[in-house]
Amino acid sequence: MKSSEYISLEDTFGAQNYKPLDVVLERGQGIWVWDVEGNKYMDCLSAYSAINQGHCNPKIMDALVGQAQKLTLTSRAFRNDQLGPFYKELCELTNSRKVLLMNSGAEAVETAIKAVRKWGYMVKGVPEDRAEIIVCRNNFHGRTVTIISFSTDPGSSTGFGPFTPGFKVIEFGDAGDLEAAITDKTVAFLVEPIQGEAGVIIPPDGYLRDIRNICTDTGITLIFDEIQTGLGRTGKLLAEEHENVEADLTLIGKALSGGFYPVSAVLSNAEVLGVLKPGEHGSTFGGNPLACAVGRSALKVLVEDGLIQNAEKMGLYFKEELKKMNNPNIKEVRGRGLLIGVEFHPETEGARQYCEKLKNAGLLCKETHHNIIRFAPPLTITKDDIDWALARIIPILSK
Ligand SMILES: *Cc1c(COP(=O)(O)O)cnc(C)c1O
């Protein structure tokens, strides 16, 4: 079948909740993917940073296949031999005390919301059903009804009410705004260390440290959503390390499986997850042996293959070269590690046209909002690969 036939099948039978570029992929290896006509593309999206270890990473694939032949799912009614070791490795790597495993990122966010509410009632003494959680304007934390209840993007929330109460929105990057918003009912501040979907928005230096101090001083929990920024993407294992701070809860997902399988986790200090008792939360697939085996391998690859350091080095090179473009339509090039945004002035024709042209030149990326392009290739990318990408990006983005 040709691309056009696959596209027509998708459009005929599928709900149209996405507007993908018209490229039908059938194979991937490392930073490269191939379409059904055999055309090769560099993947500069990495499935929204779920493919940090590269497509079909052979070590993770071995772990997946090996475990799939032994045991895939027990449910948490029983224990399994992959769960404990995965917990331990995750805790040691991220300096956490407790872990709760889920599947999608949104489920990790939902889990954190439940845990901090309960913590607020049991430990902090907030009156039942009155807990408030503070979040930021232009946040992205997923697509469930509770999560879109505090989205400020009308496209995400319009038409899906009634919404879950208990959230308060403040400005991202303004620590004073957080201080002003906290009341005696506040249980948590949920924030992305860098806002990915909003267009790679990097807060001012010192922000993460300031909000850490404010949360400590006022006795509320700090939750970092590192589902996109975590696991090496920004040149550190977790983006919080850029300012040497630690959240009370850290949410990871996406690259936790290297893109093979949905695996997410809530990483916690001892106290907050400690409030959850047997029967109060769960998931049929959460913590299954297949997910754990894949997750263990995905973490090992990140560390042992030096992908975190590579993201830092290659990201810096990529960003500095992109900054040399002098197109008056470009407002800013910014990023940390291999999470890079190129923002066009809003009055320009938008970023989609560039993504279409880049696709035709053999490079896949996606606009976020209408005027920002995000470049986030797998962390296995080399300098030669980046030069290959720049040779295509620069001529296209310069006009
Ligand atoms: C992708 C993402 C999520 C949601 O993850 P899903 O697996 O799509 O549910 C949550 N937060 C951030 C920051 C994300 O980038």
Phi/psi region, residue 266 (left: phi>0; alpha: psi -120 to 50; beta: rest), is: beta
Say whether both 71 and 171 belong to one domain.
yes
The answer to whether residues 192 and 124 belong to one domain is yes
> Probe ligand 1: pick from 51, 110, 141, 148, max atoms within 8 Å of CB?
141
Please tell me the predicted confidence (pLDDT) of residue 347: 85
Return the CATH number at 151.
Answer: 3.40.640.10
The pLDDT score that the predictor gives to residue 192 is 98
- pLDDT for res 17: 95
The enclosing domain of 339 has a CATH number of 3.90.1150.10
Last residue of one domain, picked from the residues 279, 304, 329:
304
State pTM to two decimals.
0.98
Residue entry with tokens 């009341």: 183
Amino acid 399: pLDDT? 79
Residues 24 and 99 in one domain: no
Q: Is cis: bond before 85, omega within 30 of 0?
A: no
Please name the residue whose Cα sits nearest to atom 11 of ligand 1. 141
Q: Are residues 238 and 132 in the same domain?
A: yes
Domain count, the chain: 2
Q: What residues does 250 pair with on adjacent strands?
A: 224, 267
Are 312 and 383 members of one domain? yes
One domain, residues 125 and 224:
yes
Nearest to 338 by CA among 370, 287, 374, 284: 374
Sequential pLDDT tens for the chain (399 residues): 999 999 999 999 999 999 999 999 999 999 999 999 999 999 999 999 999 999 999 999 999 999 999 999 999 999 999 999 999 999 999 999 999 999 999 999 999 999 999 999 999 999 999 999 999 999 999 999 999 999 999 999 999 999 999 999 999 999 999 999 999 999 999 999 999 999 999 999 999 999 999 999 999 999 999 999 999 999 999 999 999 999 999 999 999 999 999 999 999 988 999 999 999 999 999 999 999 999 999 999 999 999 999 999 999 999 999 999 988 999 999 999 999 999 999 888 889 999 999 999 999 999 998 899 999 999 999 999 999 999 999 999 987
**pLDDT at position 14:** 97
Verify that 273 and 359 share a domain, yes or no. no
Cβ contact 397:354 at 8 Å:
yes
Asked whether residue 21 falls in the same domain as residue 99, the answer is no
- Structure confidence at residue 326 (pLDDT): 87
* Of the residues 271, 287, 304, the one at which a domain ends: 304
pLDDT of residue 369: 87
Whether residues 294 and 391 share a domain: the answer is: no
- The boundaries of the domain holding residue 37 are 3-57+306-397
| Residue 163 and residue 254 share a domain | yes
Does 48 contact ligand 1 (Cβ within 6 A)? yes
CA of 229, closest atom in ligand 1: 13
Same domain, 221 and 318: no
Whether residue 35 is found in the same domain as residue 160 = no
Distance separating alpha carbons of residues 9 and 19, to the nearest angstrom = 14
| Distance from residue 247's CA to the centre of ligand 1 (Å) | 18
How high is the pLDDT of residue 224? 98
- The pLDDT of residue 342: 97
Buried/exposed code over 128-151 (b: 16+ C-beta within 10 A; e: otherwise): eeebbbbbbbbbbbbebebbbbbb
CA 106 to ligand 1 centroid distance, Å: 6
The residue out of 276, 304, 332 marking a domain boundary is: 304
